[in-house]
Amino acid sequence: TFDMLVIGAGPAGSAAAIYAARKGIKTGVLAERLGGQVMDTMAIENFISVPYTEGPKLVAAAEMHMREYDIDIMTGQKAKRIERKEDGLILITLENEVTLKSKSVVLATGARWRLMNVPGEDEYRNRGVAFCPHCDGPLFKNKPIAVIGGGNSGIEAAIDLAGIALHVTVLEFSDTLRADKVLQDKVASLSNVTIIKSAQTTEVLGDGNKVTGLNYTDRLTNQSHHLALDGIFVQIGLLPNTEWLKGDIELNKMGEIITNNHQATSIPGVFAAGDATDVPYKQIIISMGEGAKASLGAFDYLIRNS
Ligand code: FAD
């Protein structure tokens, strides 16, 4: 039986595990893949005090930091069920039917970006195809870019990027923008943003090295068009990895785990942190801070309940 079992080993899970182990309690980490989304990131320039690093490097450093402590790290394993037993222990069932028991749990299963699923998107990921305006916006200073998606995150991204990029084209699939009116008004006032509705992106184009543009179909006329671009920000949704928790723990309508300001969830003894939760702004530094908070919240729970 663990004192604290952390599910997920991205920034949130690593921070939670280190904070737990430093309390001298029996700590375990269970993760499908060490590092999470950071493994898919190339340049990282907003991790404060480290002006430049790369995803795999940051992951290796976090792993080394975890291995400084007595933490039972289990990778290549996926959790599929969480239950709280009458004796207060939390039972985690893995996809291979193995069960793990812990007095407290920190959920840090992160999220994944919804993809367009068009040719070129995967090939040019991190080479012009981007997902995070706060992270990669500055790479496109004075360059023409596109934002895919006209919901709140797409329009927020367009407003944000318009201050950096030369020009921003927003491509929205439907015939209306779904963003809040204040955001629509704001974006309409910007001279270097063009909005194209009823536009279905069909292909990301590149020169073998980086993005050079995209093709889209006008869904009203069925005509194909080309845009020359240096960058494409895909903003069609961030999906939390919480499908396995549905029905057992309180999630919001986006599927994010609802937490309070101690990172507690609707199950006593279960805390959560990072991109899987309803925390606003999904970033490495924020996930690490939230992971530390969740771990301290869980430790406080342990002091009071065992
Ligand atoms: P994740 O990093 O998503 O980690 C989730 C962990 O949970 C993984 O270990 C995963 O394997 C595991 N897991 C998931 N489901 C299960 C399960 N059922 N059972 C067991 N384990 C499970 N942020 C920045 O601050 N700066 C950047 O420059 C930056 N660039 C980015 C570039 C890209 C391409 C992407 C995709 C993201 C970028 N981000 C950046 C965002 C940042 O990576 C995330 O905010 C951060 O990784 C979230 O951390 P997390 O620990 O909450 O989740």
Does residue 21 have a known ligand-binding role?
no
Distance CA 205, CA 139 (A): 18
- Split at pLDDT 50, 70, 90, the class of 18 is very high
- Give residue ranges with CB within 6 A of ligand 1: 7-13, 30-33, 36-38, 40-41, 44, 46, 78-79, 108-111, 113, 131-132, 135, 241, 244, 274-276, 282-285, 287
What is the DSSP secondary-structure string of the chain?
A: -EEEEEE--SHHHHHHHHHHHTTT--EEEEESSTTGGGGG--EE--BTTBSSEEHHHHHHHHHHHHHTS-EEEEES--EEEEEE-TTS-EEEEETTS-EEEEEEEEE---EEEPP---TTTTTTBTTTEES-HHHHGGGGTT-EEEEE--SHHHHHHHHHHHTTSSEEEEE-SSSS--S-HHHHHHHHT-TTEEEE-SEEEEEEEE-SSSEEEEEEEETTT--EEEEE-SEEEE-S-EEES-GGGTTTS-B-TTSPBP--TT-B-SSTTEEE-GGGBS-SS--HHHHHHHHHHHHHHHHHHHHHH-
- Split at pLDDT 50, 70, 90, the class of 258 is very high
Residue 132 annotated to the active site: yes
Please determine, for residue 193, whether its predicted confidence score (pLDDT) is greater than 90: yes
Which of 237, 256, 236, 238 has the alpha carbon at shortest distance from 246? Answer: 256
- The whole-number pLDDT of residue 166 equals 98
Please determine, for residue 42, whether its predicted confidence score (pLDDT) is greater than 90: no
ipTM of the complex: 0.99
Quick: pLDDT tens for 91-119.
999 999 999 999 999 999 999 999 999 99
- Split at pLDDT 50, 70, 90, the class of 133 is very high
- Least trusted range by pLDDT, from 40-54, 107-121, 238-252, 255-269: 40-54
Please determine, for residue 255, whether its predicted confidence score (pLDDT) is greater than 90: yes
What's the pTM?
0.93
Residue 175 annotated to the active site: no
Q: Quickly count: other Cβ atoms within 10 Å of residue 208's Cβ.
A: 8
- CA-nearest residue for atom 46, ligand 1, is 284
- The whole-number pLDDT of residue 144 equals 98
**Across all residues in the chain, what is the average pLDDT?**
97
Quick: pLDDT tens for 60-99.
999 999 999 999 999 999 999 999 999 999 999 999 999 9
% the chain with pLDDT above 70: 100
Does residue 16 have a known ligand-binding role?
yes
Please determine, for residue 306, whether its predicted confidence score (pLDDT) is greater than 90: no
215-244 mean pLDDT: 97
